[in-house]
Chain A
Amino acid sequence: MFEWFGKVSYCPHTKVAEFARHLKNGRLMGSRCTDCGQISFPPRADCPTCRHGEFEYTEMSGKGIVMTHTTIDAAPAGFEDDVPFHLGVVDLEETGRLLASFGETIDPAEIAIDMPIQVVPRMFEESETIKVHYTLEKPGTTWVKVDPD
């Protein structure tokens, strides 16, 4: 079900496909190597440290700090209707990094390097198929349990 992840999916098949189901259930998951315990975000099936091939999901707090950001005005195919949109690269509290769009709780004028944010799972509501992603929001923004099952 990894094709659920992202407005445009380029990569429907992966060993970490369950990430998308967890995200749909409101949980942002990293991976933990079952051998050496290395935590990775984004999650990966193969441990970058010891090369072990088994892992388990581990929930991330979603708390992070903005490392850099930009506003996209010239959009790639599939995103023409979204401009301008604001992207940030965020270092997560536990470990790892992600790239995502800033969400509604953040005024674009306030976006700045070093600002704390909360990564929040989301669904594209206008989509006819299941489409999940995550956005960068103000700290304290509630995790949305979009479709508990």
Chain B
Amino acid sequence: MTRVGIIGIGHTVFGRRSDATVQELAFEAYRDALTDAKMDPELIDATIIGSVPEYHKQRSLPGVIQEYLGLNPRPTWLTEVACASGSAALRTAWMSINSGMHEVVAVIGCQKMTELTTPEILALMGRVGDVQWESVFGTTFPGYYAMFAQRHRHEYGTSADQLTAVAVKNHFYGASNPKALFQKEITVQKAQESDPVASPLNVYDCCANADGAAVTILASEGKAREIGGDRTVWLDGLGCATASMSVLRRPELTSLPSAREAADQAYKMAGVSATDIKVAEVHDCFTIAEIMAYEDLGFCPKGQGGAFIAERQSYIGGSTPVNVDGGLKAKGHPIGATGVSMTYEIVSQLRGECGPRQVPGADIGLTHNVGGIGQYCFVHVLRRD
């Protein structure tokens, strides 16, 4: 088994990008990644696209992107597992390199969501449950996480203030991330006075739909040392697990079992434990999701996620800084781009390139990328030697 290294990263500004097509967004991040890697694109063997097709008018996205990037006739394909599509592309790239089939692979996470209206997106996302037995009642994506939040409050006393504290933290860090959709801090009062979405979640408990792209270039150990040198960040632990599509077949409603399983796999593969993680990117599609992630990843005991944020343990200086780029909450969540964007941030952190948001001494980082309501979860452990 070869180690797989990340040798180049790129990231567009996330937001309402009515100025660009999805392939133009992909190109922005691709150009940044090539510049970052200081490499000749001729070295790229294949591209893997992480994206969710149903948001785009363009059919069969890999084709249009591969052409626009000028990478024909090299191979490309799509990976899709809802909001975790970007991490699925990373896992597939790791496998492609480890199989010996390819040596250098570009992973392109991209999404243009704002071609659809908000009610259309709510309906589309609500269908991430079981359409036969659940969507017929008007379920929405926030509605599912709201029901996790209600149950979490019932079992562990997780309060509205604790939920809001996650949003306040993520906006605090988003304010100094030039790639973020919302580069501004928020107050508890402003968050709690925002419009209700699905009780107990209101607008400021929810991440925003956005357009954007992020790119990482992965290489075999030999190629990574040759091209990336000591800036290389190694993808050393990969975990991936699933849970039932339907919330009706989840015994527990306060945790994502797929996240716990994926974390166990990733920690074991990388030979680390939760306490070794110096900085983490977790899938805060809703504030409750970040609180459940603290618990599922072992950053705190089960049921203590609310206290973990209330005690500022996920701020820089706390026991495990989480989402110090603003998270999905402040950065925006262009679905397929998100897993790659998380990886971009951890690579930047491990290289020490994050300026005011830099976590001191970060040498091991983690990404936690959830698809849907936990039907899929990918946890990756990254390390800088």
Contact = CB atoms under 8 A, between A and B. Distances in A.
Contact of A73 (B129, B132, B136, B197): B197
Interface stretch (A51-59, A75-83, A139-147): A75-83
Contacts of B139: 72, 76, 87, 99
A71 B196 contact: yes
B355 interface: no
B142 interface: yes
Interface string B236-272: 0000000000011100010000000000000000000
User: Which one of A70, A101, A114 has the greatest number of beta carbons of chain B within 10 Å?
Assistant: A70
Contacts, number: 114
A42 to B, nearest CB: 5
B74 to A, nearest CB: 38
A78 B124 CA distance: 11
Given A70-B147, A76-B138, A98 B122 contact: no
Contacts of B122: 74-77
B148 interface: yes
A113 B147 CA distance: 10
B35 interface: no
Contact of A113 (B132, B137, B150, B197): B150
B135 interface: yes
B285 to A, nearest CB: 14
Contacts of A5: 136
Contact of A78 (B132, B138, B148, B200): B138
A32 B212 CA distance: 48
A74 B119 CA distance: 8
User: Which one of B122, B136, B249 has the greatest number of beta carbons of chain A within 10 Å?
Assistant: B136
Contacts of B247: 89, 99
A77 B120 contact: yes
A82 B122 CA distance: 15
Contacts of B20: none
Contact of A75 (B140, B154, B199): B140
Contact of A68 (B131, B132, B137, B148): B148
Interface residues of B, number: 36
A89 B135 contact: no
Contact of B199 (A11, A42, A71): A71
B83 to A, nearest CB: 17
B188 to A, nearest CB: 20
A70 B248 contact: no
Contacts of B148: 68
Given A70-B143, A97-B248, A113-B151, A75 B138 contact: yes
A40 to B, nearest CB: 10
A73 B133 contact: no
Contacts of A67: 151, 253
A111 B120 CA distance: 29
A73 B253 contact: no
Given A69-B147, A113-B150, A75 B132 contact: no
B248 A10 contact: no
Interface in B123-165: 123, 126-127, 129, 131-140, 142-143, 146-148, 150-151, 154
A75 to B, nearest CB: 6
Contacts of A9: 136
Given A78-B123, A113-B151, A133 B195 contact: no
A80 B146 CA distance: 19
B354 interface: no
6 contacts: A9-B136, A68-B154, A70-B150, A71-B199, A72-B140, A82-B138
Given A73-B196, A82-B138, A133-B136, 13 more contacts: A8-B138, A42-B248, A68-B154, A70-B200, A74-B195, A74-B196, A76-B119, A77-B122, A96-B248, A98-B133, A99-B133, A100-B137, A113-B151
Interface of A: 5-11, 14, 42, 67-80, 82, 84-85, 87, 89, 96-101, 113-114, 133
Cβ-closest 9 pairs across A and B: A6-B136, A76-B123, A79-B138, A70-B146, A77-B123, A10-B131, A68-B147, A76-B122, A68-B151
Interface of B: 118-120, 122-123, 126-127, 129, 131-140, 142-143, 146-148, 150-151, 154, 195-200, 247-249, 253
